[in-house]
Structure 1
Amino acid sequence: MKKTILLLLVLLSNAISVAQSQTQRTKEFNLENNIALQGYDPVAYFTQKKAVKGKKEIASTYEGVTYYFSSQANKAIFAKNPSGYEPQYGGWCAFAMGDYGKKVEVDPETFKILDGKLYLFYNAYFNNTLKSWNKDETNLKKKADANWKKISG
Protein backbone atom coordinates (compact mmCIF):
# COMPACT_ATOMS: atom_id res chain seq x y z
CA MET A 1 0.00 0.00 0.00
CA LYS A 2 2.79 2.44 0.91
CA LYS A 3 4.56 1.64 -2.37
CA THR A 4 1.37 2.35 -4.33
CA ILE A 5 0.89 5.70 -2.58
CA LEU A 6 4.54 6.61 -3.13
CA LEU A 7 4.27 5.69 -6.82
CA LEU A 8 1.12 7.80 -7.19
CA LEU A 9 2.85 10.77 -5.54
CA VAL A 10 5.83 10.44 -7.87
CA LEU A 11 3.55 10.24 -10.93
CA LEU A 12 1.53 13.25 -9.74
CA SER A 13 4.71 15.23 -9.13
CA ASN A 14 5.98 14.38 -12.62
CA ALA A 15 2.63 15.38 -14.18
CA ILE A 16 2.72 18.74 -12.38
CA SER A 17 6.31 19.30 -13.50
CA VAL A 18 5.44 18.53 -17.14
CA ALA A 19 2.42 20.85 -17.02
CA GLN A 20 4.55 23.66 -15.56
CA SER A 21 7.26 23.24 -18.21
CA GLN A 22 4.61 23.26 -20.97
CA THR A 23 3.10 26.44 -19.53
CA GLN A 24 6.58 28.01 -19.44
CA ARG A 25 7.16 27.00 -23.08
CA THR A 26 3.90 28.55 -24.24
CA LYS A 27 4.79 31.77 -22.40
CA GLU A 28 8.20 31.97 -24.09
CA PHE A 29 7.23 30.86 -27.61
CA ASN A 30 6.08 33.20 -30.37
CA LEU A 31 2.46 32.05 -30.58
CA GLU A 32 -0.82 33.40 -31.91
CA ASN A 33 -3.78 31.68 -30.24
CA ASN A 34 -1.33 28.96 -29.15
CA ILE A 35 -0.34 28.32 -32.80
CA ALA A 36 3.36 28.39 -33.71
CA LEU A 37 4.88 29.79 -36.89
CA GLN A 38 1.75 31.83 -37.65
CA GLY A 39 0.24 28.59 -38.95
CA TYR A 40 3.07 27.69 -41.32
CA ASP A 41 4.10 24.04 -41.67
CA PRO A 42 7.39 23.44 -39.77
CA VAL A 43 8.31 20.40 -41.88
CA ALA A 44 7.86 22.18 -45.23
CA TYR A 45 10.76 24.53 -44.42
CA PHE A 46 13.03 21.48 -44.51
CA THR A 47 11.43 19.30 -47.19
CA GLN A 48 10.22 21.95 -49.65
CA LYS A 49 12.77 24.64 -48.76
CA LYS A 50 9.99 27.20 -48.52
CA ALA A 51 7.34 28.51 -46.14
CA VAL A 52 4.03 26.73 -46.73
CA LYS A 53 0.82 27.53 -44.85
CA GLY A 54 -0.53 24.67 -42.79
CA LYS A 55 -4.18 23.73 -42.32
CA LYS A 56 -5.92 23.87 -38.97
CA GLU A 57 -7.51 20.49 -39.80
CA ILE A 58 -4.03 18.94 -39.85
CA ALA A 59 -2.61 19.98 -36.49
CA SER A 60 -0.39 18.49 -33.83
CA THR A 61 0.55 19.72 -30.37
CA TYR A 62 4.01 19.14 -28.95
CA GLU A 63 4.71 20.08 -25.33
CA GLY A 64 1.90 22.63 -25.29
CA VAL A 65 2.71 24.24 -28.66
CA THR A 66 0.41 23.59 -31.64
CA TYR A 67 1.65 23.35 -35.22
CA TYR A 68 -0.31 23.22 -38.47
CA PHE A 69 0.76 21.09 -41.41
CA SER A 70 0.10 21.26 -45.13
CA SER A 71 -0.23 17.47 -45.41
CA GLN A 72 -0.75 14.36 -43.30
CA ALA A 73 2.67 13.18 -44.50
CA ASN A 74 4.36 16.25 -42.96
CA LYS A 75 2.42 15.74 -39.73
CA ALA A 76 3.69 12.14 -39.61
CA ILE A 77 7.28 13.28 -40.23
CA PHE A 78 6.95 15.82 -37.40
CA ALA A 79 5.55 13.18 -35.03
CA LYS A 80 8.74 11.12 -35.38
CA ASN A 81 11.02 13.98 -34.25
CA PRO A 82 9.05 17.07 -33.17
CA SER A 83 11.94 18.90 -31.53
CA GLY A 84 13.93 18.60 -34.75
CA TYR A 85 11.41 20.76 -36.62
CA GLU A 86 10.69 23.41 -34.02
CA PRO A 87 12.00 26.91 -34.75
CA GLN A 88 14.98 28.11 -32.78
CA TYR A 89 14.49 30.71 -30.03
CA GLY A 90 10.82 29.89 -29.71
CA GLY A 91 10.13 31.23 -33.18
CA TRP A 92 11.36 34.76 -32.42
CA CYS A 93 13.76 36.65 -34.69
CA ALA A 94 17.19 35.01 -34.54
CA PHE A 95 18.99 38.25 -35.38
CA ALA A 96 17.28 40.22 -32.59
CA MET A 97 17.93 37.39 -30.12
CA GLY A 98 21.62 37.50 -31.01
CA ASP A 99 22.06 41.25 -31.40
CA TYR A 100 20.30 42.45 -28.26
CA GLY A 101 18.58 39.47 -26.62
CA LYS A 102 15.01 40.53 -27.32
CA LYS A 103 11.92 38.74 -28.60
CA VAL A 104 11.01 40.34 -31.92
CA GLU A 105 8.24 39.26 -34.29
CA VAL A 106 9.16 37.51 -37.52
CA ASP A 107 8.08 37.14 -41.10
CA PRO A 108 7.65 33.34 -41.31
CA GLU A 109 8.61 33.51 -44.97
CA THR A 110 12.06 34.88 -44.07
CA PHE A 111 14.01 31.93 -42.74
CA LYS A 112 17.21 29.98 -42.88
CA ILE A 113 18.03 26.33 -42.24
CA LEU A 114 21.40 26.14 -40.53
CA ASP A 115 22.92 22.88 -39.27
CA GLY A 116 19.51 21.21 -39.57
CA LYS A 117 17.72 23.87 -37.51
CA LEU A 118 15.10 26.45 -38.46
CA TYR A 119 15.84 30.14 -37.84
CA LEU A 120 13.27 32.88 -38.47
CA PHE A 121 13.80 36.59 -39.09
CA TYR A 122 12.04 39.94 -38.99
CA ASN A 123 11.48 41.35 -42.46
CA ALA A 124 9.39 44.51 -42.76
CA TYR A 125 9.76 48.22 -43.48
CA PHE A 126 12.86 47.65 -45.64
CA ASN A 127 14.61 45.83 -42.78
CA ASN A 128 15.38 42.20 -43.60
CA THR A 129 17.35 41.01 -40.56
CA LEU A 130 18.40 37.80 -42.34
CA LYS A 131 20.84 39.93 -44.35
CA SER A 132 22.35 41.33 -41.14
CA TRP A 133 22.47 37.84 -39.60
CA ASN A 134 24.39 36.49 -42.61
CA LYS A 135 27.08 39.16 -42.18
CA ASP A 136 28.01 37.95 -38.67
CA GLU A 137 26.26 34.60 -38.32
CA THR A 138 28.78 32.78 -36.11
CA ASN A 139 28.95 35.54 -33.52
CA LEU A 140 25.22 36.27 -33.57
CA LYS A 141 24.32 32.60 -33.23
CA LYS A 142 26.55 32.23 -30.15
CA LYS A 143 24.98 35.28 -28.55
CA ALA A 144 21.46 34.21 -29.52
CA ASP A 145 21.96 30.76 -27.99
CA ALA A 146 23.16 32.33 -24.72
CA ASN A 147 20.38 34.92 -24.67
CA TRP A 148 17.68 32.33 -25.34
CA LYS A 149 18.99 30.18 -22.46
CA LYS A 150 18.55 33.16 -20.11
CA ILE A 151 15.04 33.90 -21.41
CA SER A 152 13.70 30.35 -21.60
CA GLY A 153 15.32 29.31 -18.31
Structure 2
Amino acid sequence: MKKLLALLVLLISWPSWSADQISTGIFSNKAVSGYDSVAYFTEGKPVEGDSKWQVEYQGADWYFSSQENLDKFKADPEAYAPQYGGYCAWAVSAKNDFASSDPEQWAIVDGKLYLNYNEDVKKLWDNDRAGHIKKADVNWPNLIK
Protein backbone atom coordinates (compact mmCIF):
# COMPACT_ATOMS: atom_id res chain seq x y z
CA MET A 1 0.00 0.00 0.00
CA LYS A 2 2.84 2.43 0.84
CA LYS A 3 4.44 1.78 -2.56
CA LEU A 4 1.16 2.45 -4.32
CA LEU A 5 0.65 5.67 -2.37
CA ALA A 6 4.21 6.83 -3.16
CA LEU A 7 3.68 6.09 -6.86
CA LEU A 8 0.38 7.98 -6.82
CA VAL A 9 1.99 11.02 -5.18
CA LEU A 10 4.80 10.96 -7.75
CA LEU A 11 2.36 10.75 -10.66
CA ILE A 12 0.18 13.54 -9.31
CA SER A 13 3.08 15.88 -8.60
CA TRP A 14 5.05 15.17 -11.81
CA PRO A 15 2.84 17.28 -14.12
CA SER A 16 2.94 20.28 -11.82
CA TRP A 17 6.73 20.06 -11.59
CA SER A 18 7.09 19.61 -15.34
CA ALA A 19 4.98 22.65 -16.10
CA ASP A 20 7.44 25.07 -14.52
CA GLN A 21 8.37 27.68 -17.07
CA ILE A 22 12.07 27.48 -16.11
CA SER A 23 13.91 24.19 -15.85
CA THR A 24 15.45 23.69 -12.42
CA GLY A 25 16.62 20.63 -10.55
CA ILE A 26 14.25 18.56 -8.45
CA PHE A 27 16.08 19.57 -5.27
CA SER A 28 17.29 22.97 -6.48
CA ASN A 29 15.85 26.18 -7.82
CA LYS A 30 18.89 26.95 -10.00
CA ALA A 31 18.23 27.86 -13.62
CA VAL A 32 20.76 26.45 -16.12
CA SER A 33 22.06 24.17 -13.33
CA GLY A 34 23.72 27.23 -11.78
CA TYR A 35 25.67 28.16 -14.92
CA ASP A 36 26.03 31.76 -16.05
CA SER A 37 23.71 32.20 -19.04
CA VAL A 38 25.41 35.46 -20.04
CA ALA A 39 28.83 33.77 -20.29
CA TYR A 40 27.69 31.68 -23.27
CA PHE A 41 27.45 34.95 -25.18
CA THR A 42 30.39 36.86 -23.69
CA GLU A 43 32.94 34.05 -23.23
CA GLY A 44 31.67 31.56 -25.80
CA LYS A 45 31.58 28.71 -23.28
CA PRO A 46 29.68 27.46 -20.25
CA VAL A 47 30.90 28.99 -16.99
CA GLU A 48 29.60 28.08 -13.55
CA GLY A 49 27.93 30.89 -11.67
CA ASP A 50 28.43 31.90 -8.07
CA SER A 51 25.73 32.44 -5.44
CA LYS A 52 27.17 35.87 -4.60
CA TRP A 53 25.92 37.07 -8.00
CA GLN A 54 22.38 35.85 -8.33
CA VAL A 55 18.90 37.07 -9.14
CA GLU A 56 15.42 35.58 -9.06
CA TYR A 57 13.72 35.62 -12.45
CA GLN A 58 10.54 33.79 -13.47
CA GLY A 59 10.55 31.84 -10.22
CA ALA A 60 14.09 30.46 -10.57
CA ASP A 61 17.47 31.48 -9.17
CA TRP A 62 19.96 32.55 -11.83
CA TYR A 63 23.67 32.50 -10.99
CA PHE A 64 26.44 34.49 -12.67
CA SER A 65 30.21 34.48 -12.67
CA SER A 66 30.57 38.24 -12.23
CA GLN A 67 28.68 41.37 -11.24
CA GLU A 68 29.00 42.55 -14.85
CA ASN A 69 27.17 39.46 -16.16
CA LEU A 70 24.50 39.77 -13.48
CA ASP A 71 23.95 43.39 -14.48
CA LYS A 72 23.68 42.43 -18.17
CA PHE A 73 21.09 39.78 -17.37
CA LYS A 74 19.06 42.10 -15.15
CA ALA A 75 19.04 44.74 -17.91
CA ASP A 76 17.70 42.29 -20.53
CA PRO A 77 16.93 38.79 -19.21
CA GLU A 78 15.13 37.71 -22.38
CA ALA A 79 18.34 38.26 -24.36
CA TYR A 80 20.33 35.87 -22.16
CA ALA A 81 17.87 33.29 -20.82
CA PRO A 82 17.91 30.02 -22.76
CA GLN A 83 15.00 29.27 -25.02
CA TYR A 84 12.19 27.00 -23.80
CA GLY A 85 13.02 27.77 -20.19
CA GLY A 86 16.31 25.91 -20.42
CA TYR A 87 14.62 22.58 -21.12
CA CYS A 88 16.08 20.37 -23.85
CA ALA A 89 15.39 22.10 -27.17
CA TRP A 90 15.20 18.80 -29.05
CA ALA A 91 12.64 17.33 -26.61
CA VAL A 92 10.41 20.40 -26.92
CA SER A 93 10.61 20.05 -30.70
CA ALA A 94 10.68 16.33 -31.46
CA LYS A 95 8.75 14.97 -28.48
CA ASN A 96 6.56 17.98 -27.63
CA ASP A 97 7.62 17.34 -24.05
CA PHE A 98 9.91 18.48 -21.28
CA ALA A 99 13.37 17.04 -20.65
CA SER A 100 16.18 18.37 -18.53
CA SER A 101 19.27 19.79 -20.19
CA ASP A 102 23.02 19.64 -19.77
CA PRO A 103 24.58 23.13 -19.68
CA GLU A 104 27.59 21.69 -21.54
CA GLN A 105 25.38 20.85 -24.56
CA TRP A 106 24.52 24.22 -25.99
CA ALA A 107 24.36 26.36 -29.11
CA ILE A 108 23.65 29.96 -29.92
CA VAL A 109 21.50 30.34 -33.03
CA ASP A 110 20.44 33.76 -34.28
CA GLY A 111 21.43 35.32 -30.96
CA LYS A 112 19.44 32.86 -28.82
CA LEU A 113 20.75 30.21 -26.43
CA TYR A 114 19.55 26.61 -26.75
CA LEU A 115 20.37 23.72 -24.41
CA ASN A 116 20.02 19.98 -24.96
CA TYR A 117 19.79 16.84 -22.85
CA ASN A 118 23.14 15.25 -23.73
CA GLU A 119 25.71 15.02 -26.51
CA ASP A 120 23.78 12.44 -28.56
CA VAL A 121 20.55 14.42 -28.39
CA LYS A 122 22.40 17.62 -29.31
CA LYS A 123 23.71 15.87 -32.44
CA LEU A 124 20.12 15.05 -33.41
CA TRP A 125 19.14 18.66 -32.82
CA ASP A 126 22.18 19.94 -34.75
CA ASN A 127 21.11 17.94 -37.83
CA ASP A 128 18.20 20.33 -38.39
CA ARG A 129 18.46 23.26 -36.02
CA ALA A 130 16.16 25.52 -38.01
CA GLY A 131 13.49 22.83 -38.34
CA HIS A 132 13.65 21.93 -34.67
CA ILE A 133 13.49 25.58 -33.60
CA LYS A 134 10.48 26.19 -35.82
CA LYS A 135 8.64 23.18 -34.40
CA ALA A 136 9.65 23.90 -30.79
CA ASP A 137 8.49 27.51 -31.12
CA VAL A 138 5.03 26.11 -31.94
CA ASN A 139 5.09 23.44 -29.21
CA TRP A 140 6.47 25.55 -26.35
CA PRO A 141 3.44 27.80 -25.63
CA ASN A 142 1.18 24.75 -25.29
CA LEU A 143 3.60 22.99 -22.93
CA ILE A 144 3.67 25.83 -20.40
CA LYS A 145 -0.08 26.52 -20.27
TM-score normalised by length of structure 1: 0.77
Letter in 1 for 2:23: N
Identity of aligned residues (%): 42
Say how many residue pairs are matched: 128
Q: Residue in 2 aligned with 1:81?
A: 76
Q: What is the aligned counterpart of 1:106 among 95, 101, 104?
A: 101
Give, in angstroms, the shift of residue 137 of structure 1: 1.6
Q: Residue in 2 aligned with 1:145?
A: 137
Query: How far, CA to CA, are the matches of 1:90 and 1:121 in structure 2?
Result: 12
Query: How far, CA to CA, are the matches of 1:119 and 1:63 in structure 2?
Result: 18
- Name the Cα RMSD after superposition: 2.0
Give, in angstroms, the shift of residue 34 of structure 1: 1.7
Q: What is the aligned counterpart of 2:53 among 54, 58, 64?
A: 58
Q: Residue in 2 aligned with 1:68?
A: 63
TM-score normalised by length of structure 2: 0.81
Moved >2 Å (runs of 4+)? none
Contact in 1 for aligned 2:86/2:114 (Cα 8 Å): yes
Contact in 2 for aligned 1:93/1:103 (Cα 8 Å): yes
Larger Rg: 1
**If each structure's strand is expressed as a fraction of its own residues, which one has the higher value?**
1
1:41-52 → structure 2 map (5 Å cutoff): 41-52=36-47
Query: How far, CA to CA, are the matches of 1:64 and 1:30 in structure 2?
Result: 10
Contact in 2 for aligned 1:45/1:52 (Cα 8 Å): yes
Q: What is the aligned counterpart of 1:31 among 24, 28, 45?
A: 24
